[in-house]
Chains A and B, each alone.
Chain A
Amino acid sequence: MTSATLALPTAPEPVRPRVLLVGTVLATAATCMAFAGLMGLYLAERSAVIASGAKWLPEGSNIPLTPANMAFGTMLLSAVTMWWAVDAVARNDRQMAYLALGLTIFFGVAVINATSFLYTQMDLAVTSAPGVLIYTITGAHLAMIIAGLVFAAVMTFRTLGGEYSGRDHEGLTAAAVFWFATIAVHSVIWYAIYIVK
């Protein structure tokens, strides 16, 4: 049997394969797993220190709640504006899409700013166990925020540039999925690191 002689019925074009969305979901899941691993290490180390009778944060260090809460509140607001951007692109409303995306980027930058300010207030040395863990986790999250913002900006411009249509705005939906995961990770960090301390 030589398959060159085989004649299978021809397939119609696949229906909107949504390759970018699937790829983004997988990448987002992988990113969340990285944070899950880091949080696991953080919680294990913290509970071991506390079980030994010592304090988790070194003497003199503190995590002020005001900038942490501000950052988290801003992050939650950005969820609304990101959803607004996706909705505006779906309706081919160019002005609203730019406005919503601009606000999302503004909120993202504000979170980065608030976290940087928090770093200056913590008085926590990176050489200590809590320091290594907190700076690694929150620093990695800042990187995730930057990646999410760049992704959202690129996808919005590509959508409004005509690569996707209002009906097919897969690119921005993918960016939104990643952004919502960024917010979810932030909520875990906010509670486990900033609130519980």
Chain B
Amino acid sequence: MAVTETPPETVEAATEAAPAAPRRQPTGFAAVLGTGDHKVVGRLYIVSGLVFGLGALVLGGLFAVEALDSSSLDVFARDTAFQFFTLSRVGSLFLLAFPLVIGIAMVVVPLQVGARSVAFPRAAAVSYWAWLMGAVLLVASYAINGGPGGGRSTGVNLWIASMGLLVLSILLAAICLATTVLAARTTGLRLSYLPLYSWSVLVAAVMWLFTLPVLFGQLVLLYVDHRHGGRTFGGDSNIYGSIAWVLRNPQVYVIAVPVLGFAADAMATTARTRMGLRPIAQAAIGAFGILGFGAFLQAADKTAIETPVVIGMSLAAVLPILVILAVGGDLFRRGTLRSSTGMVYAGASLLVLLLGVAAGALGSIPALETAGTIFDSGVSHAVILAAVIASLGGLHWWATKIGRQPATDVLGGLAALVMLLGSVTVVVPDLISGIAGDGAELRPDWTGGIEALNVIVLIGVVIVAGGVALALVSLLPLLRRGQDVDRDPWQGQTLEWLTPSPPPLANFDTELPLVVSPEPLVDASEEK
């Protein structure tokens, strides 16, 4: 038997670790479907929210047309009007506002807190796909004559289940976002140093986690009840009424908490100064979130809305917005009085939010008897519009982190102003109708308000649509490839402006910086 010796150099070569092949980044569909990158997940949320949002806008427009003359105009058949009405209301919150707000936060928050990734990246991806499935099933449930008041029992069941899926997916996203802020911050970045946008997302996410599970539990109950005859809670037309607390004040305010954070960040950067009243601004944002806690109204009737607690909460909710406006005033007093597109968006969204919350405070006064009238719709429309305007503003402000190139400034600023005008035109007539009208519930075709004023509402819807179209055109450069895109087009103060534009997979191409103040980039420029 021959013995074969292996030469030593061969043994060494065999035991030597092979150089690791550079990991190829997935491209095409694989990069989208299998991604755990928070930026891709955020973009998916944003694009899907815009697609579904356009549908919600069209539906809102059709209702505005119907409301012009409810006796002769029948855009929707009487037996389907309620279904479209609920689709419009639920869609504007869960298919438009939530995905837009979550999408921007999903991209920006990890960058702002100096994290390499969002916490639980796979859960974040699951939250998006679950949300998308829930959204498609929700629309499908209406297509098979389901939804609240629908004629097909399985369709109603599907609606409840899809709503449950939507809520679960939002909760999952909220856990990812809140955990990122609480546990994945870079060294030195205390909670008191947090960029105010990240702080507002934390407050919003925590409030979603404290309120939306109540809705989820209610949906489970409705599902069980409806599956077994719906005698107790789930009578078809009663389903919507029992979850309507999510769509009215104060609960609807929780979707708009990031509006305050975005506005404060944009104002501080535009004024090019440190925020002296930061603790007050943080407290105001926190207070606005707490005042948006409306889960206790889940089983409430009209009288519960008129209790001193609810009235007090509604009145107090105006204060945080005024505080943020005052903080903005102080910033421009101490810094540079100038403007930026982000600043215009911030101002527009703050004013629309102030309109909605101030109206909510007014409507809480029992003597005005606005509960259950078109006034409530006006309040929630204003709050949702404020969230949408701020989200489009966020897209513009963080364009180079979310997309590939900066957005078009002039068009963006114009879009914000047009949307401000449109929002006021949509909301104010509803508020006047609610107070000065006959105070009755909505009409059988689920429209309401004084018909002469409804003409103005329709004009407002057209203006809002025009503003959204302008905003989308201004955002087109985000889709085009660019070279040497500036990391920091606004001379920002916070960590997201330290990343390349667009950010790489692990967000930062350098070591994570040590943070010693709320404005780390200002510190660095002052040290130079």
Taking CB atoms and an 8 Å cut-off, the chain A residues in 1-54 that contact chain B are 1-15, 17-19, 21-23, 26-27, 29-31, 33-38, 40-41, 44-45
| A122 beta carbon closer than 8 Å to chain B | no
Contact across chains for B213 and A8 when beta carbons are under 8 A apart = no
B residues near A34, Cβ cutoff 8 Å: 213-214, 216-217
Q: State the CA gap A15–B114 with chains docked (Å).
A: 14
Report the nearest B residue to A4, measured CB to CB: B487
A residues near B187, Cβ cutoff 8 Å: 11-15
Stretch at the interface among A70-78, A81-89, A132-140: A132-140
B293-334 interface code vs A (CB 8 A; 1 in, 0 out): 001101100000000000000000000000000000000000
Contact across chains for A11 and B213 when beta carbons are under 8 A apart = no
Contact across chains for A33 and B185 when beta carbons are under 8 A apart = no
Name B's interface SS. Answer: helix
| B513 beta carbon closer than 8 Å to chain A | yes
Chain A interface size range: 35 or more
| A118 beta carbon closer than 8 Å to chain B | no
Stretch at the interface among A95-103, A123-131, A146-154: A123-131
B residues near A2, Cβ cutoff 8 Å: 486-488
Contact across chains for B175 and A23 when beta carbons are under 8 A apart = yes
Contact across chains for B185 and A14 when beta carbons are under 8 A apart = yes
B residues near A37, Cβ cutoff 8 Å: 213-215, 217-218, 295, 298
Name A's interface SS. Answer: helix
- Minimum CB–CB distance for B338 against chain A, Å: 15
A residues near B77, Cβ cutoff 8 Å: none
Report the nearest B residue to A40, measured CB to CB: B299
Contact across chains for A19 and B120 when beta carbons are under 8 A apart = yes
Q: State the CA gap A109–B409 with chains docked (Å).
A: 61
Contact A3:B487 (CB < 8 A) given known A14-B185, A17-B183, A37-B295: yes
Report the nearest B residue to A33, measured CB to CB: B213
Report the nearest A residue to B208, measured CB to CB: A30
- Minimum CB–CB distance for B233 against chain A, Å: 7
Contact across chains for B188 and A132 when beta carbons are under 8 A apart = no
| B525 beta carbon closer than 8 Å to chain A | yes
Q: State the CA gap A130–B299 with chains docked (Å).
A: 16
Report the nearest B residue to A18, measured CB to CB: B183
Contact across chains for A36 and B214 when beta carbons are under 8 A apart = yes
| B369 beta carbon closer than 8 Å to chain A | no
Contact across chains for B232 and A128 when beta carbons are under 8 A apart = yes
| B9 beta carbon closer than 8 Å to chain A | no
B489-528 interface code vs A (CB 8 A; 1 in, 0 out): 0011000011000000000000111110000110111011
New A-B pairs, 19, CB < 8 Å, besides A4-B487, A37-B215, A40-B299: A3-B488, A3-B492, A8-B514, A9-B514, A11-B114, A11-B514, A17-B183, A19-B119, A23-B119, A23-B176, A23-B179, A26-B174, A26-B206, A31-B213, A37-B298, A126-B228, A129-B232, A132-B233, A139-B224
* Interface residues of B, Cβ cutoff 8 Å to A: 114, 119-120, 171, 174-176, 178-179, 182-188, 206, 209-218, 220-221, 224-225, 228-229, 231-233, 295-296, 298-299, 486-488, 491-492, 497-498, 511-515, 520-521, 523-525, 527-528
Interchain residue pairs with CB less than 8 A apart (24): A3-B487, A3-B497, A8-B520, A9-B513, A10-B513, A11-B511, A11-B513, A14-B184, A22-B119, A22-B179, A23-B120, A23-B175, A23-B183, A30-B213, A37-B213, A37-B217, A38-B220, A41-B298, A127-B228, A132-B225, A132-B233, A133-B221, A136-B224, A140-B217
